Every structure is written in structure tokens, then in C-alpha cells.
Amino acid sequence: MTRLSVNVNKIATLRNARGGNQPDLVAFVANCERYGAQGITVHPRPDERHIRYSDVENLRPLIKTEFNIEGNPTPQFIELVLKYKPDQVTLVPDDPNQLTSDHGWDTIAYHGFLKNVINQFKTAGIRTSVFVDPVEKFIVGAQAVGADRVELYTESYAARFAFNKENAIADFVEAAKVARELNLGLNAGHDLSLENLSYFHQQIPWVDEVSIGHALISDALYFGLENTIQLYLRQLKDR
């Protein structure tokens, strides 16, 4: 079964726009789980423009499903993850000035760095996932640095889906097969939506987890949170 992890960064962005605690991130996360989400993802950045480091402290004891912290493994990020020990950490090569994630790791060029970071997390008993583009050598490189999973960066799939979905998914199917052959777990995320998620899952039914934030939160404005989560879960059912 493919799990749905809801990325709640956008709720924190909305809260931070006015200060205070409206909307209440903790209450929102509790509702996500109550409505069927099988995981919660946060992505704290150094400027704390959405998720704050204090949010991790507040959320950690309350999350009853799977807690995934993703981000660039700076010393501050590593310290945060080791302190609160989520179920999974996803390493993302973010530049501090990036608006959002826009590429995966070159796991060959950063072999030594990633191996050292992953060893710290695995020693602490935290499952590690590495954010990668759908390129065979980078998936092989993720295995070489000791990752438990890879997360396929799906922006290019989403961007091309409406024009030619067969072409858009092709590289991802091949990448997913490589991960499976290497006994790596498989996650996916970035711009997955109600429009393209079902087809992605049909073509790669062995994906372990999808992490979805922007599209899901946007849909919740129209359909309501409970209904939206159920709509996304429906896309992940075997057909």
C-alpha cells in the first residue's frame, strides 16, 4: 500500500503571514491524521519562513502516524533531526534562497558528505531517504551512501503530464525499477496532484509513500480537508 504523507508547510506559511497561531498547525495536523493521512511531512528551512524549528518540537509527541522531516542537512538541521528522531528523514539539496525544491542530489559528487550524514541518522535508528532526479546513476549512488529509500523528484512528470502522460512517466518507471532492483524503498513527491497522482500510482504501484503539500492544501480550500484527503487516498487505491 502506498502511504499518503501530507506536507503541512503551507499551513505554517499562512500562519506566519499574520503572526499568532491562526491557523493552528497542531490542530491541522491532528485533523489530517483523523481524516486518514498516513504521515505528516515538514520541511524546516534556515529562515523558518514556514515551518519553524519550534514546530518540530510541538508536533513530535503528537503525531500518531509517520513523521517525516525533510531538508538540507546543515549542522542545525542534523541537530534537530537527531534531537527529535522522526520516523524518516528526507535529505533535500536546498539552497537557502530557493523558493521551493527544484532538483535532486548528485549522489556521486556528494558521496562522502551524504554517507557521513546518513551514518549519523542510521546510528540513531532513523530511516533515511534521499531526494533524487529519475536518473539511474544517482539512484545507484543513493544505495552506495547507505540510504534506505530514494524520493523521486516528480516536478518534471507533473509539468509534462497534460501533454503526454506516457512520455512524462517513462523516466520515472525506469528509475523506480532500478530502485526496486537495488532493494531501495521508494518515495515520490513534488507537484503530485489529483490530476496526475492516480496515473503515477498505476504505473509504479510499488511506491511506498507520496508526500504532497501544495496541491492538497489548495484543493482543501475548495473541497474541505476531510474530503480532500479522502480524494487523494482514493487515487492511491489499486485499480
Rounded Cα distance between 107 and 141, Å, is 5
Locate 193 and state its grid cell. Answer: 496532484
The one catalytic residue among 50, 66, 151, 190 = 190
Locate 140 and state its grid cell. Answer: 545507484
The question of whether 43 is a catalytic residue gets the answer yes
The question of whether 50 is a catalytic residue gets the answer no
The one catalytic residue among 33, 43, 151, 201 = 43
Cβ-contact 211, 187 below 8 angstroms: yes
The question of whether 190 is a catalytic residue gets the answer yes
Cβ-contact 208, 149 below 8 angstroms: yes
Rounded Cα distance between 218 and 233, Å, is 16
Burial 141-150 (b: 16+ CB within 10 A, else e): bbbebbbbbb
Give Cα 123 distance to the centre of its chain.
22
Place of cell 545507484: 140
Which residues have a Cβ under 8 Å from the Cβ of 23 and sit 6 or more positions away? 11, 14, 15
The one catalytic residue among 33, 66, 70, 209 = 70
Q: Which of 136, 121, 134 is nearest to 91 (CA)?
A: 121
Give the catalytic positions in this structure.
43, 70, 190
